[in-house]
Amino acid sequence: MAKLSFKNVKHSYLANPQNPSDYALQDVDFTWSDGGAYALLGPSGCGKTTLLNIISGLLKPSEGQILFDSTDVTAMSPDQRHIAQVFQFPVIYDTMTVYDNLAFPLKNRGVDEASIKQRVEKIAEMLDLSGSLHNRASGLTADGKQKISLGRGLVRTDVNAILFDEPLTVIDPHLKWLLRSKLKELHQQVKRTMIYVTHDQTEALTFADKVVVMHEGQIVQVGTPTELFEKPKHTFVGHFIGSPGMNIFPCKIFGNRVMFEDYALEVHGEISEKLVVGKAEVGVRPEFITFSNKGIPVNVVKVDDIGRLRIVEVRHKGQSFKMVLKEGEAIPDKDVHISFDVNHTHVYCNGWVIN
Amino acid sequence: MNKIKASATTIYILFLMLPIYWLVSMSFKDTSEILGGFTLWPQKVTFQHYITIFTDPTWYVGYINSITYVGLNTLISVTVALPAAYAFSRYRFLGDKQMFFWLLTNRMAPAAVFALPSFQLYSALGLFDTHWAVALAHCLFNIPLAVWILEGFMSGVPKELDETAFLDGYSFPRFFIKIFIPTVAAGIGVAAFFCFMYSWVELLLAKTLTSVNAKPIAAIMTRTSSSAGFDLGLLAAAGSLTIIPGAIVIYFVRNYIAKGFALGRV
Amino acid sequence: MSIKTENNKAWFLIIPVIILMGLNAFVPLMTVINYSFQETFGDNVFFWEGLKWYDQILHSDRFHSAFLRQVMFTSIILSIEIPLGIAVALALPRKGALVSLCLVLVALPLLIPWNVVGAMWNIFALPDLGLLGKMINGMGIDYNFTRDPLAAWFTTVLMDVWHWTSLVVLLSYAGLRSIPDAYYQAAKIDGATNWAIFRYIQLPKMKSVLIIAILLRFMDSFMIYTEPFVLTGGGPGNSTTFLSIDLVKIALGQFDLGPAAAMSLIYFMFILFVCWIFYTIMMKDEGK
């Protein structure tokens, strides 16, 4: 086991990349600490699968280095790196039994029969596969097959990290939850580094201790689920995480005052005009907007009841805001104003937070 | 590893090309060079044999005959197979499995078994020595094949397509022609390719069912080799020319070959 | 796959096929069956003979040896073409500009008329004028396929391998192409050797197309007529007289319609029986 570092890793699928947009991965410099449970979150095409394949060694990056502890593994093949990977669609060896599937990586590495048996049985038990060890693997359901894929990574004692590439895509919704909690439980048992790629924020936030958010080939923020929620470093994170996403609207900055239309806003931390070069925006999550007597006057446009919460859309001139009301909170009839929670109002310049 | 693979591919393709090369090179040698001794390539290139073929009607008419009945057969086989394949891919009906198997068994019938009775049948129908006789007789193995290939492709098209179209008020014939046929176009291409191929290469039935007017080129070649002595150059030139239609057809379907040869079943 | 609906009207869609197949398959087959029980001396006068011709064929040495030659030929070419075809399919490039070119060249022998194949190999293998014949004789081996049965067999088998291995290659290649990349990546991560990848990933995924390949090659090689007929004419002697060649000799050469018909049916039934076994295995596999 080891910690895993990326040193200025770039990758392009083109032979001669010219612009930054030719890169699927733009200059990633990051360290994954040993034994962590990471989620790699981002929309389709943001470079997360590229990043994953570079870790496993299926892809060789165009530039940069990958280190496991202090060993440079950039040029090593997947099996030399001791990495396990679970793919989007279950990969099983159809003609083998469940036992043989699980034993396959060990047999390939010349482990003796007795140790294989012991190891496979232990892992099968962890995965609740003990009962079907001697059945043909091809007869299993999708979630059973995906467990085998995972099991082939777990049986190996030399694995540095287990990578998951959207592993729940083909699993039935009601089994997704079960398998996800199984993964979490397994992580606590085996204490291996796990990196879980997904575009589903619920999956990411429930599985991981640390979530790595990617956008257009870059890592935009790394943090705990709470950090991502309370202080998004980039408007993309604010927008992508949370439901509904963060309200983001333009503002002007004069000296150290932040102005939205004619209204001065109080924001978290210190702001200075000097910091702003380019487009300035304010971001507030719907959870941190409340009705009040003063502040920005608005009209209520729409109310959506989603069970215990209500999502209210209000509008000031051309700008609409979404806010989340808890049960029992009333919507005023007239003279509606809204105000923002100071500690959770952030200012962004060209997308990045500045306060 | 990749070097081994590349050289294995090269060797295999060389092995395939050698006899063809020999045939083509022979067709450009004059008779005295062929009989005079062994030469690896034509010492003096001559178009003599090709000129003979293109100017003598007994030769070039053979090509026209072959192309005509092969085209007819491909058209008939695919047209007839389309609705049948649709029936097999979409519906269960009394005796469907038995019918399908019976169709396939005809693909297994040795042409030699059918040669004589077919000759009698088409003579009785007054079609002997016409393009129609060969075109219809080749349906024996091409219809089952076309049904089989098309059924494979059609099974891959979701049934929801049909249902949506019917809900939208399409009648069956209109749906079939306007929507379904374009959807399985690749399958039709593959089926047509196979029909063309088997009709083009088959000779036993084609030879038995024709005598003068519809005689295929390949049969004219056989006649030459036996009766007019062994004019190898002419034979080689005629043989080389029969490779060209096949090559053209393969070129057109080259992107479907890999999937097509699995008969849509992968 | 969606479940098919029960609908007996679907028969209407098959009517054109039934008419054409009835004309081409059913009528001739009935004629053959009819002949197989009768004797004729011409002028459309027939006598009922019962099972006499069947009895005669089943006990004739001529049929036995032709059948044996046929089985031997089919086994030899299957045992060469199937492994060779798989090997070539594995070696073919999977992507890149060369793929189309390779596939076109590989498919070329399949589209050459069968008698041209025979004629081409005749020219190619002639001991004095052919490239192959000259090469073998040049190595100091006495080779003449028109005189020596062994050389005739060698040439016929080589010709069939040349002609038909491509079919196996293309089918296997289609099977290989259907394997998603993730399988190869997982195998790499599991540390599988090339042999293990072949044995546990590629071979199982090729299984269904390989069954089709074996089926087609079995059928077609068992029915082979034109190519060996043009190449060797069944000789020297009867050494390359396979079933179809023998059948045509009896039917069209000697005009012995009764025995020819009985032989046709036995021949056909045998192919049918073997194919039925394949078909059953295949359907069982698809049903899974």
- The chains found to touch B (3+ Cβ pairs under 8 angstroms) are C
Predicted local distance difference test score (pLDDT) of residue B143: 92
Residues from chain B contacting residue C111 (CB–CB below 8 Å): 197, 200-201, 243, 245-247, 249-250
Domain spans, chain C? 61-287
- Contact C196/A at CB under 8 A: yes
Number of domains making up chain B: 2
- Contact B24/C at CB under 8 A: no
B78 with B31, same domain? no
Residues with Cβ within 8 Å of residue C132, at least 6 apart in sequence: B18, B19, B22, C124, C125, C155
User: pLDDT of B68-120, one tens digit each?
Assistant: 999 999 999 999 999 999 999 888 888 888 888 888 888 777 777 788 888 88
Pairing type for strands A319-326 and C38-40 reads unpaired
User: pLDDT of A105-119, one tens digit each?
Assistant: 888 888 899 999 999
Cβ B110–C222 below 8 Å, yes or no?
yes
Predicted local distance difference test score (pLDDT) of residue B126: 87
Would you give the DSSP letter of residue A332? P
Predicted local distance difference test score (pLDDT) of residue C80: 95
Residues from chain C contacting residue B23 (CB–CB below 8 Å): 120, 123-124
CB C239 within 8 A of CB C233: no
Cβ C11–B200 below 8 Å, yes or no?
no
Stretches where chain A sits below pLDDT 70 are: 1, 355
- The chains found to touch C (3+ Cβ pairs under 8 angstroms) are A, B
Q: For residues A96 and C241, what is the distance between their CA atoms, to the nearest angstrom? A: 45
B63 with B146, same domain? yes
Cβ C105–B105 below 8 Å, yes or no?
no
CB A9 within 8 A of CB A166: no
Backbone angles phi, psi at A319, to 5 degrees: -100, 125
- Contact C6/B at CB under 8 A: yes
Predicted local distance difference test score (pLDDT) of residue C43: 60
Interface test with C, best of A53, A91, A138 (most C CBs within 10 A): A91
Pairing type for strands A161-165 and A83-86 reads parallel
Gap from C200 CA to chain A (nearest CA, Å): 6
- Contact A89/C at CB under 8 A: yes
Gap from C169 CA to chain A (nearest CA, Å): 23
- CATH number, span A243-353: 2.40.50.140
Residues from chain C contacting residue A56 (CB–CB below 8 Å): 185, 189
Predicted local distance difference test score (pLDDT) of residue B228: 44
Cβ A85–C183 below 8 Å, yes or no?
no
CB B52 within 8 A of CB B27: no
B152 with B228, same domain? yes
Long-range contacts of B58-61, Cβ-Cβ distance < 8 Å, separation of 24 or more: B58/B220, B59/B217, B59/B220, B59/B238
Interface test with C, best of B16, B142, B147 (most C CBs within 10 A): B16
Cβ A58–C204 below 8 Å, yes or no?
no
Pairing type for strands A63-68 and A71-72 reads antiparallel
Predicted local distance difference test score (pLDDT) of residue A90: 87
Closest by CA position to A210, among listed A4, A3, A33, A27: A33
Angle at which helices B2-27 and C61-91 pack, to 10 degrees? 120
User: pLDDT of A6-17, one tens digit each?
Assistant: 888 888 888 787
Residues of chain A with CATH 2.40.50.140: 243-353
Residues from chain A contacting residue C192 (CB–CB below 8 Å): 104, 108
Cβ C17–B80 below 8 Å, yes or no?
yes
Q: B126, exposed or middle or buried, with CB in 10 Å at 0-12, 13-18, 19+?
A: exposed
- Contact C183/A at CB under 8 A: yes
CB C82 within 8 A of CB C214: yes
Gap from B243 CA to chain C (nearest CA, Å): 5
- Encoded tokens for C109: 């022998």
- Asked if chain C contacts chain A via 3 or more Cβ pairs within 8 Å, the reply is yes
Q: For residues C257 and C261, what is the distance between their CA atoms, to the nearest angstrom? A: 6
Residues from chain A contacting residue C206 (CB–CB below 8 Å): none
**Tens digits of pLDDT across chain C (288 residues):** 446 777 878 888 888 888 888 888 888 888 888 878 877 666 666 677 777 777 777 778 888 888 889 899 999 999 999 999 999 999 988 877 788 888 888 989 988 888 888 888 888 888 777 888 888 888 877 878 878 888 889 989 999 999 999 989 988 888 888 888 889 888 888 888 889 999 999 988 888 788 888 888 888 888 888 888 888 877 787 788 888 888 888 777 777 777 888 888 888 888 888 888 877 877 676 554
Instruction: Give the three-state DSSP class for A265.
Output: strand
Chains B, C: CB pairs < 8 Å: 291
Interface test with C, best of A80, A85, A116 (most C CBs within 10 A): A85
- Contact A145/C at CB under 8 A: no
CB A133 within 8 A of CB A4: no
Interface test with A, best of C190, C198, C288 (most A CBs within 10 A): C190
Cβ C11–B87 below 8 Å, yes or no?
yes
From the list C186, C192, C205, which residue is nearest A87 (CB)? C186
Residues from chain A contacting residue C204 (CB–CB below 8 Å): 93-95
Q: Is residue B266 part of a domain?
A: no
Gap from B205 CA to chain C (nearest CA, Å): 11
Q: For residues A56 and C232, what is the distance between their CA atoms, to the nearest angstrom? A: 59
Predicted local distance difference test score (pLDDT) of residue B266: 43
Pairing type for strands A4-12 and A23-32 reads antiparallel
From the list B9, B217, B239, which residue is nearest C120 (CB)? B239
Taking CA–CA distances from C246, the nearest residue in chain B reads B112
User: Which domain covers residue B115, as residue numbers?
Assistant: 55-261
Residues from chain B contacting residue C105 (CB–CB below 8 Å): 13, 16-17
The H-or-E segment that residue A131 falls in is none
- Contact C26/B at CB under 8 A: no
Cβ C13–B260 below 8 Å, yes or no?
no
Q: What does the mean pLDDT of chain B come to?
A: 83
Single pTM value for the model: 0.80
Predicted local distance difference test score (pLDDT) of residue C1: 42
Name the band, by pLDDT with cuts 50, 70 and 90, for residue B227. Answer: very low
Predicted local distance difference test score (pLDDT) of residue B51: 85
Gap from B50 CA to chain C (nearest CA, Å): 16
Cβ C182–A88 below 8 Å, yes or no?
yes
Instruction: Note which residues in 134-193 of chain B have CB less than 8 A from chain C.
Output: 136-137, 139-140, 143-144, 147, 155, 158-160
Residues of chain A with CATH 3.40.50.300: 4-236
B21 with B148, same domain? no
Residues from chain C contacting residue A149 (CB–CB below 8 Å): 186
Residues with Cβ within 8 Å of residue A283, at least 6 apart in sequence: A232, A235, A238, A246, A247, A248, A345, A346, A347, A348, A353
**How many of the other CB atoms lie within 10 Å of CB of B55?**
9
User: How far is C-alpha C191 from the chain's CA centre?
Assistant: 39
CB B111 within 8 A of CB C18: no
**Which CATH class, in words, describes the domain spanning A4-236?**
alpha beta
Name residue B54's beta-bridge partners. Answer: none
CB C273 within 8 A of CB C70: no
Gap from C83 CA to chain A (nearest CA, Å): 20
B91 with B4, same domain? no
- Asked if chain C contacts chain B via 3 or more Cβ pairs within 8 Å, the reply is yes
Predicted local distance difference test score (pLDDT) of residue B50: 87
CB A338 within 8 A of CB A290: yes
- Contact C75/A at CB under 8 A: no
B40 with B66, same domain? no
CA dihedral B220, B226, B231, B235 (to 10 degrees): 40
CB B106 within 8 A of CB B141: yes
Q: For residues C127 and B32, what is the distance between their CA atoms, to the nearest angstrom? A: 18
Taking CA–CA distances from A103, the nearest residue in chain C reads C190
B28 with B61, same domain? no
B169: left (phi over 0), alpha (psi -120 to 50) or beta: left
- CATH number, span C61-287: 1.10.3720.10
Cβ B251–C20 below 8 Å, yes or no?
no
- Encoded tokens for C69: 């030659």
Cβ C191–A108 below 8 Å, yes or no?
yes
Residues with Cβ within 8 Å of residue C233, at least 6 apart in sequence: none
Predicted local distance difference test score (pLDDT) of residue C157: 93
Instruction: Give the three-state DSSP class for B200.
Output: helix
Residues from chain C contacting residue B245 (CB–CB below 8 Å): 111
- Asked if chain A contacts chain B via 3 or more Cβ pairs within 8 Å, the reply is no
Alpha helix stretches (DSSP H) within chain B:
2-27, 31-36, 48-55, 57-90, 96-107, 111-124, 131-137, 139-155, 160-167, 172-175, 181-183, 185-201, 204-208, 217-226, 232-253, 257-261
- Contact B194/C at CB under 8 A: no
